[in-house]
Structure 1
Amino acid sequence: MQRPDAATLAQLLAERVHPLVLELLPHGHREGAEWRCGSCAGEKGQSLAVRLTGPRRGVWCDFSSGERGDALDLVAAILFGGNRRDAMAWARTWLGLDDSPVPAIARRAVATKATTAEQDQDEQRRRAKARQLWHSAPTGIAGTPVEAYLRGRGIDLREMGRQPGSLRFHHAVWCGEVSRPLPAMLAAICAANGKMVAVHRTWLASAPDGGWTKADLRAPKKVLGSFAGGCIRLWRGASGKSLSMAEPGESVVLAEGIETGLSVALACPERRVLCGVSLSNLGRLILPDTITEITIAADNDTGNDTARKALDAACRQFIEQGRVVRVAMPETEGGDWNDVARQDNDREESNTRA
């Protein structure tokens, strides 16, 4: 019996695309006619989309990396580092077309081993892309749309005397949601050793009044690369020293978002301020032992059980490390410290006009 060719295998896989994505990307989720996850590594997220229905079922695209293809290409990308020949052998077995089927447990073991190797390769590629994107942007944000965007959020960096080196402006960063490049604010996410591991992107758009705002997107903020345990080093505080050179007994403010962190730095320039990128990542941050006191500038998400649990988990983690932990939270439910800063600015402007 003649073995099916690549096109036939791709078609057969597409006809069973739903069980296929459950097999290959179990941590993904369905959104309408698509299966979504972070990347071919299979982590939770939105960047990778696989079509589940219609004439294009089985077709996929990783909007952050630009990789795309049919269902057979998906198998190759996830399990075999892009090797279609190995993917064809796997597909024949998975579809039950091979005369000597691999037992399910053995097949899973092979897939797990291949997936682990692919995850490592994929992360290396993403990290390289993040660094390439970062280094392609000019240093300094003075006079750029980033400075204008932050000023529109009540953050005038000119008042701080210097600008965070962790922020840059890029005039054209690819946005998968609209399939074209857009201007963006970039933020470097660094590991404990100070090396950049990922880039945070905030896509921007010009406003009718001449200012700049977040782009009108479903997801105007995304991270390129894995950032677990890393952070954006927004402000060095009074010492002016790098995080690794933090002085014994030093305190630090941790914020979830960039705008919140910069608002705190503007109000308390003597404090070191770090951005954890996400609430779930705060408790994973690897900080020097010299930092003995932590203030978490938390958003007021008291009505969100998930957020509350993540905040509690971060506090417990730091307390178990022997650090003093305080939580500073705005009074208004659903608000953050950037909202507070903007309200204060609005009141000052009103008093000035009066």
Structure 2
Amino acid sequence: MRRHSAGQLSQMLAVRIQALVMELLPAGQRDGHEWRCGSLAGEKGQSLAVHLHGARAGVWCDFAGGQKGDALDLVAACLFNGNRRDAMAWAENWLGLSNATSDAPVQRRPAIQEKLNTSQELDKAAQRMRAKARRLWQEGQPIQGSPADAYLLNRGLDLRMLPHMPGSLRFHPGAWCAEVRKPLPCMLGAIASPVGKLVATHRTWIQQTPSGAWVKADLRAPKKVLGSFSGGCVRLTRGASGKALGIADAGSSVIIAEGIETSLAVALSCPEMRVLAGVSLSNMGAVGLPPEITTVIIAADNDGPNNHTARKALEAACQKFADQGREVRLALPENEGDWLDVFKAGQDLKRS
């Protein structure tokens, strides 16, 4: 029997990619020119995307896990813990190129199937939480001229200085706060998935001082996220191109900062750049980006030389984007603090 190379098998699998994804990832669904599911375990969701047509048929990326590859890699990742040799044997069988029976169903490893069952239950809860986050967002009001706008202005962030008012920010006059068990005024931030769908809503509760100024609410946790946001981000500015993230020009750059206020400070300092808020340090490296984004600048907080946990998280974030084949730069303030501190001090954002 003639053996086929990995490249040949990948190409043949790509030709039949629609049948392949339905067998490997049956809980997924078509989304335009892609097949979408939650992860390589096969549960429902959006984090894993497989191209179905054209020259990129079979190319896939798990935005949450940071893995990617071709059609053969997909077989290896789904069924054989990444073992390409086993995947090649399976592919020859599935494609009818070997003497073995070719119509045998996919046999997922028990651990994979158990994970699939558990993930389906978790996905139902995540869907309910996502629906609540969307309802909260829909209740929000335009931020311009609102108390949330005044809160940002009080922090030195004038949204009117941006090329466009961020559509990802809103004001809610009374979002429920479990800490005090009553609704409080709140700034909302839309956290979008890699495909641009709202998956969670960031809340910053605010209050008015006796002098009339709007400040962050006096709470143990004045900032919280409603919904699961792994891989998502708050899309603040589009940069000079003015194009949405999903249709960014090839060779584009992006700046990813952590919190909304810090990211706005970066956006005001660099109006020509696309700026995203990663929401949390642990999520910065997981933010899903299209392949057209080839340069990632991580505008991180300077937590000091003794915060080894933060440093490791930053190194991991940089490595994830580097593993995706992107150029990565890390920008840190010279002194301890974040880029909002630098912006308010009237200094320029420096990139390293």
User: TM-score range with shorter-chain normalisation?
Assistant: 0.5 to 0.7
**Is 1:290 the equivalent of 2:292?**
yes
> Compared with structure 1, are the counterparts of its residues 112 and 316 closer, same or farther at alpha carbon in structure 2 (3 Å cutoff)?
closer
Q: Cα distance, 1:304 vs. partner?
A: 1.3
**Is 1:324 the equivalent of 2:327?**
yes
**Residues 170-221 of structure 1, C-alpha deviations (whole Å, 9 max, x = no match):** 0000000000000000000010111000000000011233121110111100
Aligned to 1:259, the other structure's residue is in SS state: helix
Distance across 2 between alignment mates of 1:163 and 1:112? 42
Aligned partner of 2:307 among 300, 304, 307: 304
Distance across 1 between alignment mates of 2:123 and 2:164? 38
Aligned to 1:344, the other structure's residue is in SS state: coil
- Assess if the C-alpha contact under 8 Å between 2:256 and 2:284 holds in 1: yes
Q: Cα distance, 1:344 vs. partner?
A: 2.1
**Is 1:119 the equivalent of 2:113?**
no
Partner of 1:157: 159
Q: Cα distance, 1:343 vs. partner?
A: 2.1
Distance across 1 between alignment mates of 2:122 and 2:280? 22
Aligned to 2:314, the other structure's residue is in SS state: helix
**Is 1:128 the equivalent of 2:125?**
no
Q: Cα distance, 1:115 vs. partner?
A: 5.8
Aligned partner of 2:238 among 236, 239, 256: 236
**Residues 38-92 of structure 1, C-alpha deviations (whole Å, 9 max, x = no match):** xxxxxxxxxxxxxxxxxxxxxxxxxxxxxxxxxxxxxxxxxxxxxxxxxxxxxxx
Q: Cα distance, 1:162 vs. partner?
A: 2.2
Instruction: Point out where structure 2 has 5 or more consecutive residues left out of the alignment.
Output: 1-113, 348-352
Q: Cα distance, 1:132 vs. partner?
A: 0.5
Which residue identity lines up with residue 310 of structure 1 in the other structure? A
Distance across 2 between alignment mates of 1:254 and 1:237? 13
User: Aligned ranges for residues 1-354 of structure 1 at < 5 Å?
Assistant: 116-138=119-141, 140-302=142-304, 303-333=306-336, 335-344=337-346
Distance across 2 between alignment mates of 1:277 and 1:220? 14
- Assess if the C-alpha contact under 8 Å between 2:239 and 2:271 holds in 1: yes
Partner of 1:19: none
Which residue identity lines up with residue 133 of structure 2 in the other structure? A
> Compared with structure 1, are the counterparts of its residues 151 and 118 closer, same or farther at alpha carbon in structure 2 (3 Å cutoff)?
same
> Compared with structure 1, are the counterparts of its residues 208 and 295 closer, same or farther at alpha carbon in structure 2 (3 Å cutoff)?
same
Distance across 2 between alignment mates of 1:291 and 1:113? 32
**Residues 76-120 of structure 1, C-alpha deviations (whole Å, 9 max, x = no match):** xxxxxxxxxxxxxxxxxxxxxxxxxxxxxxxxxxx9998644422
Which residue identity lines up with residue 137 of structure 1 in the other structure? G
RMSD of aligned Cα (Å): 1.7
- Assess if the C-alpha contact under 8 Å between 2:333 and 2:339 holds in 1: yes
Q: Cα distance, 1:136 vs. partner?
A: 1.1
> Compared with structure 1, are the counterparts of its residues 115 and 322 closer, same or farther at alpha carbon in structure 2 (3 Å cutoff)?
closer
Aligned to 1:287, the other structure's residue is in SS state: coil
Aligned to 2:345, the other structure's residue is in SS state: helix
Distance across 1 between alignment mates of 2:333 and 2:115? 45
Q: Cα distance, 1:125 vs. partner?
A: 0.8
> Compared with structure 1, are the counterparts of its residues 112 and 285 closer, same or farther at alpha carbon in structure 2 (3 Å cutoff)?
closer
- Assess if the C-alpha contact under 8 Å between 2:163 and 2:271 holds in 1: no
Which residue identity lines up with residue 320 of structure 1 in the other structure? D
Distance across 2 between alignment mates of 1:186 and 1:295? 25
Alignment coverage as a number of residue pairs: 233
Q: Cα distance, 1:146 vs. partner?
A: 1.0
Which residue identity lines up with residue 323 of structure 2 in the other structure? E
Distance across 2 between alignment mates of 1:126 and 1:327? 34
Which residue identity lines up with residue 135 of structure 2 in the other structure? Q
Distance across 1 between alignment mates of 2:116 and 2:323? 34
Aligned to 2:288, the other structure's residue is in SS state: coil
Identity of matched residues, %:
60
> Compared with structure 1, are the counterparts of its residues 161 and 316 closer, same or farther at alpha carbon in structure 2 (3 Å cutoff)?
closer
- Assess if the C-alpha contact under 8 Å between 2:204 and 2:223 holds in 1: yes
- Assess if the C-alpha contact under 8 Å between 2:164 and 2:237 holds in 1: no
Which residue identity lines up with residue 315 of structure 1 in the other structure? C
**Residues 112-156 of structure 1, C-alpha deviations (whole Å, 9 max, x = no match):** 998644422211110000000101112x21110111111111111
The TM-score with structure 1 as length reference comes to 0.64
Instruction: Point out where structure 1 has 5 or more consecutive residues left out of the alignment.
Output: 1-110, 346-354
Which residue identity lines up with residue 179 of structure 1 in the other structure? R
Which residue identity lines up with residue 340 of structure 2 in the other structure? N
